[in-house]
Structure 1
Amino acid sequence: MLAESGYGSESSLKHHGSTLSLISATSGLSSTSASSFRKVHSLQEKVAEMETFRDILCRQVDTLQTYFDSCVSGHHREELQKDKGDDDDDDDDDDSPISRPDGDYLLDDSCKEKLFPVASPRGPAGIDFKGEAIAFKATTAGIFSTLSHCIETMVKREERWQRRLEKEMERRRRVEESYKLVLMDLNKKSQYGGPDYEEGPNSLINEDEFYDAVEAALDQQDRIEEESEKCRSPRPVALSPDSDSSAGTHRYSTEVDEMVHSHMTHSLQDVGGDANWQLITEEGDLRVYRREVEENGVVLDPLKATHVVSGVTGHEVCHYFWDTTFRSDWETNVESFTVAEPLSDTAVIIYQTQKRVWPASQRDILYLSVIQRMLSANESEPETWLVCNFSVDHDSYPPTSRCIRAKINVAMICQTLVSPPKGNKEMIRDDILCKITYVANVNPGGWAPASVLRAVARREYPKFLKRFTSYVQEKTSRQAILF
């Protein structure tokens, strides 16, 4: 009797808020009901169902135990009756079976009831053992199903928490690394606060630390420059023609002529096949070469770069490079500059201080800057303009202890290449190219490590040329072509 066993009671299942029946617990193990069941029910509901199954199972165990106790009691009574029957054998002779001639026995009704009791569909105490066994099996199956779902849910939850834990551990690792880097930077700044940790003959900073500090400072300057570029508004300025050839007559005229002649003779020579020159950078049409030279431990590496820029003339490139009006627009490493003395319309003496890059010392430069148009020997040669900057002395700007005076000898030589337009069409900027040759001989002075100076030069020169030529292209794109 399922009702008596307590399993078929609907109220006992609803007591825990579950509508699972015996049929759904056994036949409901199909994939459809099981999957929907897992999606709808939460872990708390499954635990409640487990409690319901526990109560049902306890009642079924008690019922089966009662059944087995009754069976044991009936067996003891049968044993007692058998013992009693053996004692009364003599008295029961009259009730013994009657023998037939062929050996069979005839039994009366009382003997038949004793030897062959009528089988009852129910066991002791009116319990249906087969039904109770089926119910017990169904209950355990329901428990296993619910328990499996609980285990699966807990495993998924465990995996989810494990992933969150791994993410938190990774985030904590990154924070700890950032914290250590900040501490290291703070320690370096506190340690490098004195003059012994700056550029000098007795500096305690090794080359790697020196370069890391310089590179970090340059990166910061680049970020600041990028922000200022966004806020800087363009200012349209029309170019005025420069003097055609001579730089005028002044006290440095002889030195100017010698420098210009030297650059036009040697700087235009191709160094691509020269073993003494190393190609250190190649990006498209831009190539930068270096020849390693040291004197008394000071790096004096000459650098030479070649580049081809479309849409501009040599005159335009040289004008923007020479004219101090535009210097602050494209020069990012200059802290300040002053025209110390104008020598002529195309020659000036400039005093310039560079931005300091810690731990390197600050440097200043005093140089003469001249722009010239070079006369062509024949009509087949391209039009050539030149800007030459070389160090000079001036009484008003003597070297100071605040800065290290650097020496320079720089030239920018620009040749204009023209592709004549077809027919009678007007020439446009797509028809012109500018071939740039840039040479730099710099004596930085001081005690900066040679490896650091070479690494900085390799980084800064290509960046300077690309930034400057892009600036010239942008400034001249809407202006008339200046030859």
Structure 2
Amino acid sequence: WTNYIHGWQDRWVVLKNNTLSYYKSEDETEYGCRGSICLSKAVITPHDFDECRFDISVNDSVWYLRAQDPDHRQQWIDAIEQHKTESGYGSESSLRRHGSMVSLVSGASGYSATSTSSFKKGHSLREKLAEMETFRDILCRQVDTLQKYFDACADAVSKDELQRDKVVEDDEDDFPTTRSDGEFLHSTNGNKEKLFPHVTPKGINGIDFKGEAITFKATTAGILATLSHCIELMVKREDSWQKRLDKEIEKRRRIEEAYKNAMAELKKKSHFGGPDYEEGPNSLINEEEFFDAVEAALDRQDKIEEQSQSEKVRLHWPTSLPSGDAFSSVGTHRFVQKPYSRSSSMSSIDLVSASDDVHRFSSQVEEMVQNHMTYSLQDVGGDANWQLVVEEGEMKVYRREVEENGIVLDPLKATHAVKGVTGHEVCNYFWNVDVRNDWETTIENFHVVETLADNAIIIYQTHKRVWPASQRDVLYLSAIRKIPALTENDPETWIVCNFSVDHDSAPLNNRCVRAKINIAMICQTLVSPPEGNQEISRDNILCKITYVANVNPGGWAPASVLRAVAKREYPKFLKRFTSYVQEKTAGKPILF
């Protein structure tokens, strides 16, 4: 798929060294490729509906490819997948775990990346930890001191018990003698000192137990207070980090959502011109987007047309109908036709039965002309089946809604009255292909396929692409006729009848959707008699136009879009064309 203008094109595709390249043809490989993509991270997606198509996407770049048949497509997909596997991409052996430079820098920087408040909190916490370390040392020394005191007390108690037992034994063996009371008492006091000596444990002199106990309590209280402060700091720190984490999570969620939307929009814009978004049975574009895209494209064409028209205003229109003989070249043929006057009744182009007008489509032309003259001139203003969709001055456009198998086939009928021109002039400019590009802005190109007669030709024309709608082409027979008047009071009537035919020189192609048409331009000339013996001027003539169009656009364009475009384009065409005829005929002899 090259683009939405040229559509699918044959290209020479080469798969080599995990790279897919394409060339315009095999002969141009030496001039370099038109494009290439690396398949390492490519995603191959077979199409759901088209069995011959598969897409290759790398990031926002997408290649749309179609093989000759489903088997050929599968061969290409297998080959591309094999190249991806052989390249080592995606295998565990090819993966390497790398250290994070951000983590290393963050670890080395310590608190350098934190805010001022976080730094102060961290500094206070480190001070409190240092205080707890000091308290721990003090507490250890105090515990050691108290332990020594308790050990000394325990040793002293043990020794006192042993000494007491020994004194008791000595007292039982040595009874006191009969002496004076003083001696006895002295002896008794001596024994009491021996029995209850004042024992001071060795090694506990200089230890203030009460002071050590108070200091121990103060140290433990300090530890608890510091621990409480540390816990408070950590809770605040945790709350602060939790808030920052919540903010980061919310910020990440928003960024991920924005990234997802941006990628979706980028993918949509990147692929919007692809084949999946053009007119078709499986189009991804909805009806509203389809209408907006068509309307935007038509607005651009209108702007280009206005600029072109402004440029033409400064130039003189080329003379296509000389005042003498009227010359008209169609394809490779020319014919000379004398100008018509009101007294002329028939000429070589009046009747389809004339010898030079007989051709293989003569019966069809006659049938079409008779049908249009019978039904197209009927007034539909009071018919409930016809809707008046546009009314601007003398111009009225009617539509009757008809659908067949989901395709819009709305017949359209427009009536208009134009002063200063004749029906012959209007039909001549409408039929003459030499001046068609002067007033028809929707045609991309056209050519005469076959000249059947002086008044009948077969034309093939392609219309400009209005994306996302598919491009349309038309193959039709165009015949111009003068309808003989049945009575003297009947107006002079001319008709141009265009209807679709088949021709071997213009077969169907894949680039365009072939539309079917049945169109008639019927023009009647009304003359108001001039005053006195004056000649008839353009101020005395009026052309009543009846334009009938039955178009089968084919394809899959939404009905609402087709009706909206028809409502917009048909009145614009009729006003543009009639203004063109008025401008071209101004100041020239009247062609009846």
TM-score (norm: length of structure 2): 0.50
Match of 1:310 in 2: 419
Residue in 2 that maps onto 1:199: 279
Alpha-carbon distance change, 189 to 246 in structure 1, aligned in 2, over 3 angstroms: farther
Q: For 1:416-459, what per-residue CA distance to the aligned partner results, in whole angstroms no more than 9, with x for missing partners? A: 00001011011110000000000000000000000000000000
CA RMSD of aligned residues (A): 1.7
* Maintained 8 Å contact 2:525/2:544: yes
Distance 1:314 1:210, change over 3 A: same
Amino acid at match of 2:375: H
1:236 is matched with which residue: 292, 311, 319?
A: 319
Deviation at 1:229, TM superposition (A): 1.8
Matches within 5 A, 1:340-379: 340-379=449-488
Letter in 1 for 2:321: A
Question: Who is 1:328 aligned against?
Answer: 437
Which structure 2 segments of 5+ residues have no match?
1-262, 327-336, 339-347
Q: Deviations over 1:59-83 (max 9, x none)?
A: xxxxxxxxxxxxxxxxxxxxxxxxx
Match of 2:47 in 1: none
How far residue 189 of structure 1 moved from its aligned partner, in angstroms, is 3.6
Alpha-carbon shift at residue 236 of structure 1 (Å): 1.4
Pair 1:225 & 2:305 matched: yes
Q: 2:350 aligns with which of 211, 220, 245?
A: 245
8 Å CA contact 2:521, 2:548 repeated in 1? yes
Structure 2 residue matching 1:387: 3-state secondary structure: strand
SS in 1 for 2:294: helix
- The higher-RCO structure (CA 8 Å, 6+ apart) is 1
- Provide the residue aligned with 2:393 in structure 1: 284
Q: What is the alpha-carbon distance in structure 1 between the residues aligned to residue 546 and residue 497 of structure 2?
A: 12
**Aligned match of 1:261:** 370
1:319 counterpart residue number: 428
1:243-281 Cα shifts (integer Å, max 9, x gaps) = 541241000000000000000000000000000000000
Mapped contact 2:279–2:469 kept (Cα < 8 A): yes
Q: Residues 32-65 of structure 1, C-alpha deviation per residue, up to 9 Å, x if partnerless?
A: xxxxxxxxxxxxxxxxxxxxxxxxxxxxxxxxxx
- Can you list the C-alpha shifts for 1:211-236, whole angstroms capped at 9, x where unaligned? 00000001101111111222233111
State the secondary structure of the residue aligned to 1:379: coil
Contact 2:349 2:455 in 1 (8 A): no
User: SS of the residue aligned with 1:367?
Assistant: strand
**Secondary structure at the counterpart of residue 308 of structure 1:** strand
Tell me, in whole angstroms, the C-alpha distance in 2 between the residues paired with 1:278 and 1:186: 43
Q: Deviations over 1:293-345 (max 9, x none)?
A: 00000000000000000000000000000000110000000000000001111
| 1:38-187 alignment runs, 5 A limit | none
CA shift, 1:193, in A, is: 2.4
- 1:439 matched to which residue of 2? 548
What amino acid does structure 1 have at the position aligned with 2:522? I
Report the TM-score when normalising by structure 1.
0.61
The amino acid across from 1:467 in the alignment is R
Letter in 1 for 2:297: A
Q: Which runs of 5+ in 1 are unaligned?
A: 1-182
SS in 2 for 1:212: helix
Do the aligned residues in 1 keep the contact of 2:349 with 2:454 (CA within 8 Å)? no
Q: Which one of 503, 528, 539 corresponds to residue 394 of structure 1?
A: 503
SS at match of 1:203: coil
Partners of 1:311 and 1:443 in 2: CA distance: 34
Shift in alpha-carbon separation, 1:424–1:253, aligned structure 2, 3 A: same
- Structure 1's consecutive aligned runs of 4 or more residues displaced over 6 angstroms after TM superposition are 183-187
Measure, in 2, the Cα distance between the counterparts of 1:337 and 1:186. Answer: 38
CA distance in 1, matches of 2:492, 2:264: 56
CA distance in 1, matches of 2:542, 2:265: 48
Q: Which has the higher helix share?
A: 1
Q: CA–CA distance in 2 between the matches of 1:320 and 1:282?
A: 24
From 288, 293, 304, the equivalent of 1:208 is 288
Q: Does 1:467 align with 2:585?
A: no
Q: Structure 2: how far apart are the matches of 1:310 and 1:189?
A: 50
Equivalences for residues 4-43 of structure 1 within 5 A: none
Q: Percent identity?
A: 70
Letter in 2 for 1:386: I
Q: How far, CA to CA, are the matches of 2:265 and 2:431 in structure 1? A: 40
SS at match of 1:409: strand
Match of residue 15 from structure 1: none
| Residues 1:412 and 2:412 aligned together | no
Name the SS for the 2:584 alignment partner: helix
